[in-house]
């Protein structure tokens, strides 16, 4: 019986098989990279939409707490389950008339696309110029008055010592150069900037449709962290303890007509 011999494969067959395997490996690698990127973008989008958003500070109205070009993170989820507190710094959409109308500059489509992609993952904040950042001084029902004999704002009749965070021309300057006496309506906030003499806040928008009050529905969330520049990285103090002595507003029940 004669044994059968297997004919040797042509020399180029082995090379072709190895090349095909390498191509399949690269295809799998690229597929995995695309899947990872898509998942990362989706997760970042969900985080930005429901949990945390990034903004930058375009003006000095909150100095020295927040400085121009600081980048901040805003907690969106906590306020959905708990009420806001006096002293917290919040980012909110313009209630109407607070910000000047500025035309959008024309940008190349490539720049727009890159900015859009970065905004999905929170690395860009293209809508920062459409939002404002201020500190809550009055909650719904609060009576906020400026100022008492020593220049302090009072909330529900109790003076608040804001010296830890507000910026005024001198140490003896009143907490506001403008007098006011307001009662915050339901579902609204009275907000002021920390750079008290250079902030276009609730005091300066009483002639707008919302009379200077910010609807709670306009609030994006609470500022809790400065992320950039690195030398300013750290948590943002709400100074809620400075309002600890403020009593809850007295709610008067409407009287029935005789």
> Nearest Cα to 187, choosing from 221, 140, 137?
140
Q: How many angstroms separate the CA atoms of 221 and 74, rounded?
A: 6
Among residues 66, 26, 75, 67, the alpha carbon closest in space to that of 47 is found at 75
Q: Which class does domain 53-102+128-243 fall in?
A: mainly beta
| pLDDT by residue, tens only, the chain of 258 residues | 555 555 555 555 555 566 666 666 776 766 666 656 555 455 455 445 557 888 989 899 999 999 999 999 999 887 777 789 999 999 999 998 898 766 565 556 654 555 555 555 455 455 556 899 999 999 999 999 999 999 999 999 999 999 999 999 998 899 999 999 999 999 999 999 999 999 999 999 999 989 999 999 999 999 999 998 999 999 999 898 999 999 998 765 544 444
- Which pair of tokens denotes residue 166? 């507000």
Classify strands 188-192 and 214-215 as parallel, antiparallel or unpaired: antiparallel
Whether residue 66 contacts residue 90, with contact meaning beta carbons closer than 8 Å, is answered with: no
pLDDT score at 257:
47
Largest CA distance in the chain: 124
Location of structure tokens 């390498």: 22
pLDDT of residue 51: 72
Distance between CA atoms of residues 47 and 52, nearest Å? 6
CA distance 59 to 45: 27
Active site residues: 61, 134
- Angle at which helices 11-50 and 109-120 cross, to 10°: 70
Q: Are 165 and 243 in contact (CB under 8 A)?
A: no
pTM of the shown model: 0.74
pLDDT given at position 254: 46
89 in Cβ contact with 222 (< 8 Å) = yes
- The per-residue pLDDT for 102 is 62
Give the domain ranges of the chain: 53-102+128-243
């Amino acid at each position: 019986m004669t044994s059968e011999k297997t004919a040797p494969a042509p020399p180029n067959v082995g090379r072709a098989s190895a090349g095909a395997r390498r191509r399949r490996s690269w295809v799998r690698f690229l597929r995995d990279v695309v899947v990872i990127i898509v998942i990362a973008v989706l997760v970042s989008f969900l985080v930005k939409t429901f949990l945390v958003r990034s903004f930058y500070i375009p003006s000095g109205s909150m100095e020295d707490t927040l400085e121009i070009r600081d980048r901040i993170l805003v907690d969106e989820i906590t306020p959905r389950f708990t009420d806001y507190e006096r002293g917290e710094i919040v980012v909110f959409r313009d209630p109407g008339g607070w910000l000047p109308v500025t035309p959008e500059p024309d940008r190349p489509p490539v720049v727009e696309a890159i900015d859009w992609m970065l905004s999905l993952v929170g690395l860009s904040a293209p809508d920062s110029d459409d939002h404002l950042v201020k500190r809550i001084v009055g909650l719904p029902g609060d009576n906020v008055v400026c100022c008492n004999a020593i220049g302090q704002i009072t909330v529900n009749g109790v003076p608040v010592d804001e010296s830890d965070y507000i910026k005024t021309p001198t140490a003896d300057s009143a907490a506001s150069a403008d007098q006011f006496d307001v009662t915050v309506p339901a579902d609204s906030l009275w907000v002021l900037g920390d750079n008290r003499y250079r902030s276009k806040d609730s005091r300066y928008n009483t002639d707008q449709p919302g009379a200077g009050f910010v609807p709670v529905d306009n609030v994006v969330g609470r500022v809790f962290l400065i992320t950039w520049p690195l030398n300013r990285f750290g948590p943002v103090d709400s100074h809620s303890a400075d309002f600890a002595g403020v009593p809850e507003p007295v709610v008067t029940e409407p009287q029935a007509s005789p």
